[in-house]
Structure 1
Amino acid sequence: MTPSALADLVRSSAVKVLEARGLDHNVLPDAVTVERPRNPEHGDYATNVALQVAKKVGMKPRELAEALAEEIAGAEGVDTAEVAGPGFLNLRLAADAQGEIVRRVLSEGDAFGRGDALAGRKINLEFVSANPTGPIHLGGTRWAAVGDALGRVLAAQGADVTREYYFNDAGAQIDRFVNSLIASALGEPPPEDGYAGAYIDDIAAEVLRREPSALSLPEDERHELFRRVGVGLMFEEIKQSLHDFGTDFDVFFHEDSLHASGAVGDVVAELKESGSLYHADNAWWLRSTEQGDDKDRVVIKSDGAPAYIAGDIAYLRDKINRGFDLCIYMLGADHHGYIARLKAAAVAMGYDADVVEVLIGQMVNLVSGGKPVRMSKRAGTVVTMEDLVEAVGVDAARYELARYSVDSSLDIDLDLLRKHTNENPVFYVQYAHARLASLQRNAAELKIEMKPDADFSLLTHPREGDLIRTIGEFPSVLAKAAELREPHRVARYLESLASAYHKFYDVARVLPQGDEEPTDLTYARLALCEAARQVLANGLSLLGVSAPERM
C-alpha cells in the first residue's frame, strides 16, 4: 500500500465516520496528508486529519481520532491504528500489504511513479534561452539541467510538454557580437562594448574560412555576412553543447522572426485598438502595475520603435495561438520584473494571468580548493557549460545542479564532485544502483531467478520495512515535484532511497552462501532489491542522469 493509497483510505474512512454522525464530510481536505513519523516506533505512517477538522464539525480531536482509528483498524492491509497525543493517528501496515508496493514496482517497471495529474495540459516550457553571443554560462547550464528535469517530471504526470529555446537574435547585442567578430577578423581589439574571448577568434576564423572574401565586401554587406554566418555558427555551437549535456529542445524559436513576420506590429495594433495600451508622453504603455510591476512598461517608444517587451507580447501570443494552456518561463535572477510584465501582457490580450508562470533561478558559482573559479579557458570572462562538464562530467554536473531549489544561489564544489566516495551525492545514488545491479547478476550466476510473486509477508525486519516504505513514496514525491515545479525533490528522494538501501544491505543478507539453498526469504529480499533498483533508475532518468550497472 503506497502512501497515496493509504491517504485515500484515511479520507474515505473519515467520510464514513462523519456521515455516521450526521456531520458534514465536506470539511475534509481533498487530499489527506499521511507522513512517516520521525520515530519509527510510532508506526509506519501518521496523520493529523482529526486535528485539522474536528473543531469544524464540533468534535474533540481525540474523540474523532479514536472513531477514525476504529474504522481504519478493520481495513485490509492495516495492522494497527492507534491514537496519540491530542489527536494524531499512528498507522502500522501489515507486512503483506507493504509487499504490494514491491509487486507494483516490478509490474509497472519504468512506469512506476508516473501519474495523470496533468493529463490534458499542454505546456510550453521555455528555458536556457541564452543570448547567441557566446557559450552557455553557468546560469544557463543550471537551467539546462533543471529545465530538462522539470520537463521530464511534468511529462511523467501526463502533461504534453514542449521544450522551447528562444534565440534573442534581434537587437543591439547581436550588432555588438558581429562587430566583435569583424574586429577579430581584421586583427583588431574588440570594440569597447563588444565581446572578447578565444571563442570570438575561433568563430571569426571559421567565417573567413567559409567566406575568404568577406573582409573585402562593402561595410554593410560584410556586416550582414558576418551576422548570418557568425550567429549561425554560435547557434550551432550552443545547440551542440546542450545536446552533449543531455538537453534537447523541441522548438528553437527566433526572436527576429516575430519582427520579420509583422507579428509584433500586429499584436501592438490590436492592443491599441482594444484599449489595452494607453498613450502618454508620446509613447504607448502596458498597465503592468496592475499585475504587481513597480511601474508601467513602454511598449512603443516615443520615437515609434518597439521596446523589447513588444517582442515578448508577440511571442506569448504566438505560444497561446499554438495551443498551449500554460507557458512556463525559466529566467535568470536579473529577470524578476518579467513576472508582472508577462502576466500583464497575458491579461492585455484577454487571457488569464495564470496562463503565464515564471520561475526565477539564482546564481551559480564554482569553487575549487575553497576558492572561487572565475575565468573560463575559452570565454575569458565567465565560466561555461563546457568548463563544468570538463571538470566533473555530465552526470555529476546535471545532478548537482538539479538537486537544489532554484530559489537559492549555489556554490558547486568541484573537488567534492570529482570524488568517487559517498560524500559525492551523485556517486552515492549511482553506486546504490550499481550495487543492486551487481546483486541481480550474482543471483543469475547462482541460477536464482527473481520471483515477483514472492512471499513479502516475510519482510519483517525494520530495515526492510523502511526500504519498502521509502520505495512507496516515489509516486507522491514525483507528483509534488511536478505540482511545485521542483525537480530537486526527486534528487533528494533518491538520496533517501539510496540511504535506506545501504542500511538494509548492512543488516540483511540477500543471497545464500556456500552450499546454502535459497529460501522464501531469499526470493522476497531479491524482489525487494530489484524494486529498489528500478525506482533508482526511474528517478535518475527523470533527472537526465545515467543509472550505471557497474562502477
Structure 2
Amino acid sequence: MTPADLSLTVLHAVRRAVDDGALRVDVPPVVKVERARPGGVGDYASNVALALARSAGRSALDIAGILEERLRDTPGLREVAVTGPGFLNFTLRADAGGELVRAIREAGESYGSGTALAGVTVRFADLTESRALIVAETVVRLLRSQGADAALRHHPPGVAGAPGDEQTGDGGAPGHEWTGADQTGDRRAPAADQTHDQQIPAEHLHIHPAPHTPDLLGPDAARWALLRAAPQDRALDGAPLLVQHERNPLFRVRYAHSRARRLVVNAAQLGFQPSYDVPVHAPELLGVLGDHPLVLLAAARHRAPDRVARHLEAIADALLAFQHTVLPLGDEKPSAAHRSRLALAEAAGTVLAGGLSVLGISAPERI
C-alpha cells in the first residue's frame, strides 16, 4: 500500500463515518498522509482528526477513535494506533492486495458477511405495499448476512391483517407468523418459538410507495428501480433501466460482472489462470472492495439497501477502468503481473455477484 493508497483508504473511512452519522463534517477532498517522523509509531501518520475537530465540534481524540474503528480491519493495514492529541498512525502489511483477493476467493459471494449483529433480533411490522415488501425482504437478507435474527411478519390466509385486511400494527398478535429470507432470498419456515416472536415489538419501515412491475421491466430492473433510491425517496423511473448503455447504472454493474467473467475465459484461452503473485497498483478498486463488508453492515444497520446499490456502482466503475490492464497486449507474454491483475478482476466480479444477490438481482455471465 502506497501513501496515495493509504490516503484514499483514510478518506473512505471519513466518508463512511459521515454516511453512518458518526461524524457531521464536510468530507475533505483529500487526506494528507506522511511518513512517520523519527520516534513516531508505525510507517505513516495523518493529522486528519485534528483537521476535522473544529468543524465537527468534537475533540480530535474522539474523531480519531471513530476513524480507527473503521480502519481497524482494513486489508493492507497491520495496525492503526491513536497517539498524542489525535494523530492516526499506520503500520502496513506486506501484502495487502493479496490478502484481500484471498479473502474474497475464500468467502466467494458471501464475502462481506459477518457476525457484527449476532444477538440482534428484528421483526418488521405488517407489510402489504409492493415496494415496502421488496425493501423489507432485502433488509432482512442484509441483517441476516451480519448475524442478526431478522424476519417479516406473515399473515396466514384468513387471519385478520392479511393482505387486503386492515393492518393492526400490534407487533405480533396471536395467529401471525414470521418469515425470514436467506442469502438467496428464499423464505424460511416460520420460527419455532412463536410465543417469543410475538413478544418482540415490530419495527416499522418508512418507505415511499411504488408499484413493483416485473411484467413491464423484467424482475431485475423492477427490483433495482425500487431499491436503488433511498427508501423514503421516490423510486427510480424504470424505462431508462432497460437501455443497455453506460448511463444505465444497472447495466453498468451487470456488465462489469460479465466482463470479469469473460476476462477469466479469455485468459484461459491465452494459457494463464488468475493467481495473485505480485502486488497490483489499483488503489480505487482495492479500496472499494475492501469497503464492501462495512457497506453491507452499514446498509443493514440503517435499513438502507440503496447503499449497497450505490457501492456496486462504485465497484463496477473501478473495475471497468482497471480491466484494460488485465490481458497481455500485442506480442506481450502473460506474466505474474497479468495473473495478479486477473485475480483482482475475478475477485471484483465475485463481489459484484454477491452484492447483486443480496439485492435479489441476477448476475449474468454474459451481456
TM-score (normalizing by structure 1) = 0.48
Match of 1:435 in 2: 259
- Offset at residue 49 of structure 1 (A): 4.7
1:361 aligns with 2:207: yes
Match of 1:395 in 2: 220
For residues 150-299 of structure 1, the aligned pairs below 5 Å read: 150-166=139-155, 169=158, 249-250=187-188
- What secondary structure, in the 3-state scheme, does the structure 2 residue paired with 1:116 have? coil
- What secondary structure, in the 3-state scheme, does the structure 2 residue paired with 1:124 have? strand
- What secondary structure, in the 3-state scheme, does the structure 1 residue paired with 2:287 have? helix
Contact 2:132 2:205 in 1 (8 A): no
Per-residue CA distance 1:123-182 (angstroms, 9 max, x = gap): 434553x3xxxxxxxxx2212321221111011001233343236846799999xxxxxx
- What secondary structure, in the 3-state scheme, does the structure 1 residue paired with 2:205 have? strand
Q: Which amino acid aligns with 1:323?
A: H
Match of 1:540 in 2: 356
1:118 aligns with 2:117: yes
Distance change (3 Å), C-alpha of 1:94 and 1:38: farther
Distance change (3 Å), C-alpha of 1:103 and 1:174: closer
Match of 2:244 in 1: 420
Q: Which amino acid aligns with 2:352?
A: L
Q: Whole-Å Cα distance in 2 between the matches of residues 38 and 52 of structure 1?
A: 12
Match of 2:273 in 1: 449
Contact 2:258 2:365 in 1 (8 A): yes
Per-residue CA distance 1:201-239 (angstroms, 9 max, x = gap): xxxxxxxxxxxxxxxxxxxxxxxxxxxxxxxxxxxxxxx
Q: Whole-Å Cα distance in 2 between the matches of residues 94 and 513 of structure 1?
A: 31
Contact 1:122 1:325 in 2 (8 A): no
Match of 1:478 in 2: 296
Q: Whole-Å Cα distance in 2 between the matches of residues 37 and 89 of structure 1?
A: 16
Match of 1:101 in 2: 100
From the two aligned structures, give the one with the greater strand fraction: 1
TM-score (normalizing by structure 2) = 0.69
Contact 1:124 1:326 in 2 (8 A): no
- What secondary structure, in the 3-state scheme, does the structure 2 residue paired with 1:155 have? helix
Contact 1:510 1:522 in 2 (8 A): yes
Match of 1:270 in 2: none
Distance change (3 Å), C-alpha of 1:438 and 1:53: same
- What secondary structure, in the 3-state scheme, does the structure 2 residue paired with 1:322 have? helix
Per-residue CA distance 1:16-48 (angstroms, 9 max, x = gap): xxxxxxxxxxxxxxx999x99633775899785
- Offset at residue 447 of structure 1 (A): 2.3
Q: Whole-Å Cα distance in 1 between the matches of residues 359 and 45 of structure 2?
A: 28
Match of 1:404 in 2: 229
Q: Whole-Å Cα distance in 2 between the matches of residues 103 and 46 of structure 1?
A: 28
Distance change (3 Å), C-alpha of 1:539 and 1:47: farther
- Offset at residue 475 of structure 1 (A): 0.5
Q: Whole-Å Cα distance in 2 between the matches of residues 174 and 550 of structure 1?
A: 39
Per-residue CA distance 1:244-286 (angstroms, 9 max, x = gap): xx9654468xxxxxxxxxxxxxxxxxxxxxxxxxxxxxxxxxx
- What secondary structure, in the 3-state scheme, does the structure 1 residue paired with 2:206 have? strand
Q: Which amino acid aligns with 1:444?
A: A
Contact 1:37 1:45 in 2 (8 A): no
Q: Which amino acid aligns with 2:29?
A: R
Per-residue CA distance 1:399-433 (angstroms, 9 max, x = gap): 121112212233x3232122111222211111110
Distance change (3 Å), C-alpha of 1:470 and 1:448: same
Match of 1:323 in 2: 196
Q: Whole-Å Cα distance in 1 between the matches of residues 290 and 327 of structure 2?
A: 24
Distance change (3 Å), C-alpha of 1:404 and 1:144: same
2:29 to 22, 34, 38: 38
| Percent of aligned positions that are identical | 34
Aligned length, in residue pairs: 310
2:328 to 501, 507, 512: 512
Q: Which amino acid aligns with 2:362?
A: S
Q: Whole-Å Cα distance in 2 between the matches of residues 120 and 360 of structure 1?
A: 24
Q: Whole-Å Cα distance in 2 between the matches of residues 95 and 156 of structure 1?
A: 30
Q: Which amino acid aligns with 1:154?
A: L
Q: Whole-Å Cα distance in 2 between the matches of residues 408 and 169 of structure 1?
A: 33
How large is the Cα RMSD of the aligned pairs?
4.6
Contact 2:122 2:202 in 1 (8 A): no
- What secondary structure, in the 3-state scheme, does the structure 2 residue paired with 1:450 have? coil
Per-residue CA distance 1:82-105 (angstroms, 9 max, x = gap): x9xx96758695673243212211
- Offset at residue 515 of structure 1 (A): 4.0
Q: Whole-Å Cα distance in 2 between the matches of residues 123 and 521 of structure 1?
A: 46
- What secondary structure, in the 3-state scheme, does the structure 2 residue paired with 1:161 have? strand
Match of 2:172 in 1: none
Q: Whole-Å Cα distance in 1 between the matches of residues 263 and 119 of structure 2?
A: 40
Q: Which amino acid aligns with 2:366?
A: R
Q: Which amino acid aligns with 2:304?
A: E
Q: Whole-Å Cα distance in 2 between the matches of residues 397 and 471 of structure 1?
A: 26
- Offset at residue 323 of structure 1 (A): 2.6
Give the number of the structure whose alpha-carbon radius of gyration is greater.
Answer: 1
Q: Whole-Å Cα distance in 2 between the matches of residues 36 and 175 of structure 1?
A: 46
